[in-house]
Amino acid sequence: MATDIKAPQFPESVADGTVATWHKKEGEAVKRDELLVDIETDKVVLEVVAPMDGVLTKILKGEDATVESQEVLGQLEAGASASVSAPAEEKPQAEAPAAEAQGGDDDGDAQAGPAARKLMSEHGLSAADIKGTGAKGRITKEDVEKALANKQQSPSSASAPAPAAAPAPAAGEREERRVPMTRLRKRIAERLVAAQQDAAMLTTFNEVNMKPIMDMRKHYQSEFEKSHGVRLGFMSFFTRACVEALKRFPAVNASIDGDDIVYHGYYDVGMAVSTERGLVVPVMRDADQKGLAEIESQIIEFGTKARDGKLSIEEMTGGTFTISNGGIFGSLLSTPILNPPQTAILGMHKIQERPMAVDGEVKILPMMYLALSYDHRIIDGKEAVQFLVAVKNFIEDPARLLLDI
């Protein structure tokens, strides 16, 4: 009896999705909970697994097809694996090693992200052909593209006569490559344009002396890591500093709903994370109730899930304020764009030693530029500047966080 393979139930904020990659072909045997197909939405890639052992008998929605919640993607025949195993036994013995090699690639392919797996499938590559440079050897889309480039440059196999090669591009010819935007990239583009069109966005800047925090980290790093099992980073200090500043300036933690201003009595801080698919913003709920170690642990968890495409829609929904750290990529200064319906976002940047005047003397200090973009419709310049100064004071004198001053 055939069983329908259906798309997941999408949240209300997601209208539909796109079939990104089928990991099985019609007629292939599958096992229960084995990955069948990836569905790409505006926010995340959802994985659809096999509900039982059987054979994928029919694919009703091919790759790039648009699907809605609970729409039938294909059909699975339960208990039909024996019917496809007989023809496999009739194949010559010489094909057995190839089949074994293909089976051995399944675990390796699981170490690749959805975009990388799709590109590998399109070009007939396996995980054994590619060296992963991501976390824990994970294969990224860039790794696949690099492998394809190397493959094109390598000499063709001598086992068979090579087909007539396409004419090489003439010297000086400029090559172009057209690639459709992913749903996530299109959604990011729409939201960024909307943020600039719908909000009266303005950015104020300041700079912060990072030496006190750096000295504290150096002094307590080993004890902190031994006690909590996680390293002490800068993001936890900035998260705590922002939360304390938000308590003093509620408008920065507010949002606009029509003609109303909604003041949030909680502090859900979004953490902008860059992935191979685009920028995502997982949300740390109730950040005011978390200690430095808990914040650091959740940041690491967010980063791992984002790279693996495992963030849920719930983890990226909501948020009252966002922090973006472009400094990890070397950015010295930037103007972050609002994440609607939020009314403010803090941009962190690269730490750079600069000569600073301190008590009439020139000292070399590790300085960081901070940028606060805000919606001028509900946040006045005075509030924005005072908020940023409060964050600066908390970072330059961390004791203020403990003394609540």
Reply yes or no on whether 308 is catalytic: no
Token pair belonging to 217? 């980290």
Reply yes or no on whether 228 is catalytic: no
Strands of the sheet containing 29-30, edge to edge, are: 2-6, 72-78, 54-59, 29-30
Token pair belonging to 44? 């995340």
Distance CA 237, CA 292 (A): 7
For residue 49, the cross-strand partners are 35
Peptide bond into 355 cis (omega under 30): no
Please give the radius of gyration of the chain, using alpha carbons only, rounded to the nearest integer.
26
Q: Which of 106, 215, 286, 380 is catalytic?
A: 380
Distance CA 221, CA 391 (A): 22
Distance CA 268, CA 285 (A): 4
Q: Which of 53, 215, 376, 404 is catalytic?
A: 376
Which residue pairs from 247-252 have beta carbons closer than 8 angstroms and sit at least 24 positions apart in sequence?
Answer: 247/288, 248/386, 248/387, 248/390, 249/383, 249/386, 249/387, 249/390, 251/343, 251/378, 251/379, 251/380, 251/383, 252/321, 252/343, 252/344, 252/374, 252/379, 252/383, 252/384, 252/387
Distance CA 234, CA 289 (A): 18
Kindly provide the b/e burial profile for residues 235-252, where b requires at least 16 CB atoms within 10 angstroms of the residue's own CB.
Answer: bbbbbbbbbbbbeebebb
Q: Report DSSP state, residue 17.
A: E
Token pair belonging to 49? 């697994």
**Catalytic annotation, residues:** 376, 380
